[in-house]
Amino acid sequence: MTTEKQVPVLTVDGPSGSGKGTVGQMLAQELGWHFLDSGALYRITALASQDQDIDITNEAQVALVAKGLEIKFIPQKDAPPSVSLAGQVVGDVLRTEQIAEMASQVAAMPKVRAALLLKQRAFAQLPGLVADGRDMGTNVFTDARLKIFLTASPEIRAQRRYKQLKEKGFDVNLARLLEEIQVRDARDQARTVAPLKPADDAHILDSSGLDAQEVVQKVLDLLKAN
Ligand code: DC
């Protein structure tokens, strides 16, 4: 069995729209490592609860859903991995703002976070793991070889989300997106369990003026130096 200590882990945490998803996937591809999109686990918990008609404010029931999830990430070439739930591929519904909002609510529940903890750690497999989320460096992979905390201004993050969602064909409003991002950031930062904040030993990178390739290069340089 491999342990967290033997498997190199690179954590990329940060708020929504900081570019961590894109950067994390590019890093995993570059390094030939596995990739964990931990936000997808919270989104799937929200989606599966909705599908099972569970009251999203009922922590014990949502935690049971989280515990029972059978999730697989299926790697795709030059695209985000597709996600399957109990053998069924979950499409772009996972990326909607409605599911993001519900995911943020369930992510504030300690029992849900506890239910997903071991599932996340199980992704640490050789030759290595790039783990993307909010608390990868602070809670899930505290022994990670390198911890990155990616930031960008709320305006830039809203513009990136706008472009991503438009490309997927969703009807979106930039001002509303900015507002939603700020509300979600505030909730993610203020919650008592695993709030969004850099680990003490994280390297903080501001991606505002950088493209994804430039951020990837900075992280690879840090990985070489550490
Ligand atoms: O990264 P994302 O937008 O897919 O995340 C969805 C929600 O899940 C977001 O509100 C933050 C939360 N989340 C979390 O609390 N911890 C993580 N490790 C990843 C995501």
The enclosing domain of 106 has a CATH number of 3.40.50.300
139 lies in a domain? yes
For 53-100, what is each residue's pLDDT tens digit?
999 999 999 999 999 999 888 887 777 788 999 889 998 899 888 998
2 lies in a domain? no
Q: What is the mean pLDDT of residues 125-131?
A: 97
Q: What is the mean pLDDT of residues 26-37?
A: 95
Closest-CA residue to 82 (of 94, 73, 69): 73
Q: Note the pTM of the prediction, 2 decimals.
A: 0.90
Determine how β-strand 9-13 pairs with β-strand 146-151: parallel
Contacts of 1 (CB under 8 A, 6+ apart): none
Residue whose CA is at the smallest distance from ligand 1 atom 1: 39
226 lies in a domain? no
126 lies in a domain? yes
Give distance in angstroms: CA of 118 to centre of ligand 1.
Answer: 16
State the amino acid at position 42 in one-letter form: Y
Q: Which of the four pLDDT bands, split at 50, 70 and 90, describes residue 8?
A: very high
48 lies in a domain? yes
Domain count, the chain: 1
What percentage of the chain has pLDDT greater than the value 70?
98
Q: Which of the four pLDDT bands, split at 50, 70 and 90, describes residue 5?
A: low
114 lies in a domain? yes
Q: Which domain range does residue 203 map to?
A: 9-221
Q: Under a CB-based contact definition with an 8 Å cutoff, are residues 161 and 68 in contact?
A: no
State the amino acid at position 1 in one-letter form: M
| Ligand 1 atom, smallest distance to 196 CA | 15
| Ligand 1 atom, smallest distance to 21 CA | 1
Q: Under a CB-based contact definition with an 8 Å cutoff, are residues 142 and 223 in contact?
A: no
Q: Report the pocket of ligand 1 as residue ranges, CB < 6 Å.
A: 16, 38-39, 42-43, 100, 103-104, 107, 133-135, 184, 188
| Ligand 1 atom, smallest distance to 187 CA | 10
193 lies in a domain? yes
Residue 1: predicted pLDDT: 44
42 lies in a domain? yes
